[in-house]
């Protein structure tokens, strides 16, 4: 059947002159150039998203530690308004890219947007952890990528989600090491180490299927070990004197502050 009709069509689709061939290729040229230009725009935006997300992460570290210093006892109601504002600015970049990544274009240029997307996910998941003490879900990230009308600014691949949230463990390690020598730090360290241990276990099942994930899992293991060792150091010191963190902290504070 196909071959019968094929004979007819084939004649229509024959390019029979030199000029016609050149013409066909000129169309290819503009198609290829168009897509290359598009990719270039996406790459640039992806770099912008990366840089801004990295800055959000630094900001979150500052706010989180300030929160602990202000009040290590109260239930961590630090205000992350400034970070949220910066995240909203990043979403403007996504918004501007929206039409470049519509329909099948997303998967066409996925590798160009991927680095920025992963860094963005790292930032939102860090904020989410600081606020909720939990891992942000796939839908959570997806929802963060919606505009006021609930329209998705950019599709989200499972791989980017997993690779992005994997990077969170490194930041949590940095956070825990800093937090640990503060008031209430021992509790924080234990929370983080339980959380990171959970992340590692949760992601182990995915790593054979997601490229690069096993490399990130190795980094997570290292981070986890660093947190565990820090928690150990605190525990060992405390064990010599007793178990009441807060009371001990008060004594130390009096010594230091006079």
Partner 1 sequence: MDSGDLEQLNALLDNEIDLKEKIKDFVSDFDKRTRRVQGALNKIHSTPSEDVPRLARSVKPMLDECSLSVSAIAGLVPEFEYWRWSGMWSFSLRAAAFGALFVHYLETETLLSLEGVSSVLGIKDEWKHKFTLQAEDYLHGLITMVNEMSRWAVNAVTLGDYERPIRISIFVKSIFAGFSALNLKNDGLRRRFDSLKYDIKKIEEVVYDVSLRRLANSPKKEGVDESPAPR
User: Which residues, numbered 135-174, are part of the site for Mn ion (CB under 5 A)?
Assistant: 167
Closest to 216 in 3D by CA, of 196, 189, 232, 236 = 196
Region 170-199 residues binding partner 1, contact defined as CB under 8 A: 174, 177-178, 180-181, 190, 193-194, 197-199
Region 20-59 residues binding its own copies, contact defined as CB under 8 A: 33, 36, 40, 43-44, 47-48, 51, 55
Cβ 93 to Mn ion shortest distance, Å: 19
Region 61-100 residues binding partner 1, contact defined as CB under 8 A: 61-62, 65
Residue 146: strand pairing partners: 152
Per the CB < 8 A criterion, the answer to whether 245 and 186 are in contact is yes
Tokens describing residue 12:
């229509």
44 contact, one of Mn ion, partner 1, its own copies, none, CB 5-8 Å limit per kind = its own copies
Region 22-61 residues binding partner 1, contact defined as CB under 8 A: 22, 24-26, 28-29, 31-33, 36, 54-55, 58, 61
Does an H or E element contain 198, and which?
Answer: helix 185-204
Q: Candidates 73-81, 82-90, 145-153, 230-238 — which segment interacts with partner 1 by CB under 8 A?
A: 230-238
Tokens describing residue 107:
């998967």
Beta strands in 122-256 (DSSP E): none
Nearer to partner 1, 6 or 79 (CB): 6
For CA atoms 14, 17, 21, 23, the dihedral sign is negative
Query: 211: helix, coil or strand?
Result: coil
Region 172-231 residues binding its own copies, contact defined as CB under 8 A: none
- Does residue 258 interact with partner 1 by CB under 8 A? yes
Tokens describing residue 116:
């920025």
């Amino acid at each position: 059947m196909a071959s019968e009709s094929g004979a007819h069509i084939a004649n229509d689709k024959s390019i029979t002159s030199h000029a016609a061939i050149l013409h066909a290729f000129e169309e290819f040229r503009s198609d290829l150039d168009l897509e290359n230009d598009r990719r270039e725009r996406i790459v640039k935006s992806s770099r912008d998203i990366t840089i801004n997300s990295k800055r959000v992460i630094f900001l979150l570290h500052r706010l989180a530690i300030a929160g602990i210093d202000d009040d290590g006892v109260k239930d961590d109601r630090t205000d992350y308004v400034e970070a949220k504002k910066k995240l909203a600015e990043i979403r403007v970049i996504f918004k501007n890219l929206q039409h470049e990544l519509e329909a099948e274009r997303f998967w066409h240029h996925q590798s160009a947007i991927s680095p920025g997307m992963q860094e963005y996910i790292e930032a939102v998941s860090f904020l989410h952890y600081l606020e909720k003490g939990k891992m942000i879900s796939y839908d959570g990230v997806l929802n963060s990528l919606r505009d006021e009308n609930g329209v998705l600014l950019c599709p989200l691949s499972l791989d980017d989600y997993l690779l992005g949230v994997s990077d969170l463990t490194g930041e949590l390690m940095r956070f825990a090491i800093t937090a640990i020598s503060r008031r209430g730090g021992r509790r924080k360290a234990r929370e983080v180490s339980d959380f990171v241990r959970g992340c590692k276990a949760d992601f182990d099942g995915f790593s054979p299927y997601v490229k690069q994930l096993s490399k990130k899992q190795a980094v997570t293991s290292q981070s986890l070990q660093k947190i565990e060792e820090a928690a150990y150091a605190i525990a060992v010191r405390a064990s010599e004197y007793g178990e009441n963190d807060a009371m001990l902290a008060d004594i130390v504070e009096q010594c230091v502050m006079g």
